[in-house]
Structure 1
Amino acid sequence: MGILSGNPQNEPMHYGEVFATWTYLFAEKGMISMYQTFVNHTGDDDLKKLLEEAIQGAKGETQQIEELLKANGVALPPSPPERPKANLEDIPAGARITDPEISGLLSMNVAKGLVACSTIMGQSIREDIGLLFGQFHVNKAQFGVKVLKLNKEKGWLVPPPLHMDTPNK
């Protein structure tokens, strides 16, 4: 048997897997903090529920990645502090992040997360890491549909110009 056969947990992580998972974890921890801040800024209950769902999903992912990295002797990135709850009315109007802005950033982060998960899946030679990020990818895709539906329902979706006319050839 070669070094890369048998139980994947007994295989060493290669440098790319370490860097990608560590970086993903670092970004995910930052997004938890950012989404906690967004909860304080949003006035829309539906958006607030999606943000809470995103926070819980990210916390679940960070826990799994931390376990993976610890088991492989990799130091964990720092975690930002939990954001305190704030009253929306206490945030000056000019300093507030608007609901459409929050939803747009949430959409962008879902898209970036899908790309990151796909990248890690593609570069992983350990099956357990590829499968872990495959599950994260599926969860993000399902969550992304919820965000898209909310954007459409609320009128927050700003589509690019639609290409309706094609030149005659």
Structure 2
Amino acid sequence: MTNLLEAIKDYLAPLVDGEPKKPLHVGEVNNLWLLLTLLEEGLAVYQLGLNTTTDKQLIHALTNGQEESIKTIEQIRNFFIKEGVSMPPISEPKPKSNPNSVPLGVKYTDSELANLISAKLAAEITLLGQALAMSIRTDVGQTFFQIQFEMIKYGTSLKKMMQDRGWLKTPPYYYPPGGPE
């Protein structure tokens, strides 16, 4: 098994050896393109939440998620421009509205909003894990890893808030037959 120092050396070598970068492969482009689409369309979810909730903790979580998404979107868009990759079409931003003016039957509850954001985040983190495993270029893998790390940090604080509020949806517990009591 490779030791830690060898792994670090092998990881850093392509970043510092001055060798020209190979072109992106189809999987790297596809995963980046899909992630960018998920993030850009996800902005509408954050905007919808900010337009419909009055819960201060949830507003804070939604604002943080929106800000992190915008940073990541910029990072990927700049990378695409540098690499010559076309951008996916995006939806128009939602206008601001007064949460108290939205009828109850139309807007999500705070619990529904938090779970929607949580599910969106889980899909993005899963995509990033697969993308990281497929990436060949070190800079692309590093980008996927860094984005995934930021999403996991955000998801951890979101999960804590959801647990504290009783909003986290937990599947039924599994007790295997013949297992210890």
Deviation per CA, 1:75-128: give whole Å up to 9, x if none: 111122221111011111111111000011111111111111111111111100
1:65 and 2:76 aligned: yes
| Secondary structure, counterpart of 1:105 in structure 2 | helix
1:125 and 2:136 aligned: yes
Q: Distance in 2 between matches of 1:79 and 1:153?
A: 34
Alpha carbons 1:8, 1:126 under 8 Å: kept: no
Matching residue within 56, 59, 63 for 1:48: 59
1:32 and 2:28 aligned: no
Q: Which residue is 1:152 aligned to?
A: 163
Q: Which residue is 1:94 aligned to?
A: 105
Q: Which residue is 1:112 aligned to?
A: 123
Q: Which residue is 2:31 aligned to?
A: 20
- Please list every run of 5 or more consecutive structure 2 residues that lacks an aligned counterpart in the other structure: 1-13
Alpha carbons 2:45, 2:117 under 8 Å: kept: no
Q: Distance in 1 between matches of 2:66 and 2:94?
A: 12
- Please list every run of 5 or more consecutive structure 1 residues that lacks an aligned counterpart in the other structure: none
Q: Distance in 1 between matches of 2:26 and 2:164?
A: 44
Alpha carbons 2:38, 2:124 under 8 Å: kept: no
The percent of aligned pairs where both chains have the same amino acid is 27
Alpha-carbon RMSD across the aligned residues, in angstroms, is 1.9
Q: How many residues align?
A: 165
Query: Is the alpha carbon distance of 1:39 and 1:168 closer, same or farther for their aligned partners in structure 2, counting shifts above 3 Å?
Result: closer
